[in-house]
Amino acid sequence: MQYIAFLRGINLGKRQVKMGDLQKIFVDLGFTEVKTLIATGNVIFETDEQNEEVLRVKLETVLEKRFAFSIPVILRTKREIEKLLELNPFKEIATPSARNDGSKVRLQVTLFGHMINGRVPIKQNGFEIVYIGKRDIASIVYPDGKTTELMTYVDKIFGKNSTTRNWNTIQKLIGD
């Protein structure tokens, strides 16, 4: 089974985790085909374990023991991420390079460790949630907005068991 582990809140302030150390931990746990991508804590790996909850608890326990602080882990199968890419919640949105005014928007995906409820896209000052799935949302952060404001809002509405990644990072995880 191919998984991607998304670690929340690492490499901020004193919460430093080197990607080489992270890769070694996953290898030492017996996982195969272990690769890290970007220092925000994305780990691609294979395992025979098919119970996501068992896997998540195991990873969080080992990571906390090794780094001496709690690191929430959000798991997705490679196939789940491929389905999100196929869906492409941003397909109707002009890409940052296509905007006529020269400004840059940031396309963000928030992944949750639990099912979420939401039906209608949400527009706030500086950002807009354009897609709400069962365990993820897709958002646009406009030039006058901040990703941290989006994350604060998402935590308040949907719960804190989540992590946010740039759409480009999601694409790179699968090799697109």
Task: Give this prediction's pTM.
Answer: 0.90
Beta bridge partners of 112: 162
Cα(116)–Cα(99) distance, rounded to whole angstroms? 31
**pLDDT for position 115:** 93
Number of domains in the chain: 2
Regarding whether 163 and 96 lie in a shared domain, the answer is yes
Residues 70 and 108 in one domain: no
- Residue 32 is part of which domain span? 2-81
What average pLDDT does the segment 81-104 reach? 76
Whether 73 and 96 share a structural domain: no
138 Cβ contact partners less than 8 Å away, ≥ 6 residues apart: 89, 90, 107, 108, 109, 110, 129, 130, 131, 167
pLDDT band for position 98 (cuts 50, 70, 90): very low
Please indicate, yes or no, whether residues 74 and 94 belong to a single structural domain of this protein: no
Residues 7 and 69 in one domain: yes
pLDDT score, position 109 = 96
Token output for 106 = 């940031």
Share of the chain above pLDDT 90, in %: 67
Residue 10: alpha-carbon gap to chain centroid: 12
* Amino acid, single-letter form, for residue 124: Q
Q: What is the pLDDT of residues 46-66, one digit of tens each?
A: 999 999 999 999 999 999 999
Predicted confidence band of residue 96 (pLDDT cuts 50, 70, 90): low
Do residue 102 and residue 69 come from a single domain?
no
Residue type, 72: P
**Proportion of the chain above pLDDT 70, given as a percent:** 93
> Which domain CATH number covers 52?
3.30.70.1280
**Same domain assignment for residues 112 and 69:** no
pLDDT for 149-159, tens place per residue? 999 999 988 98
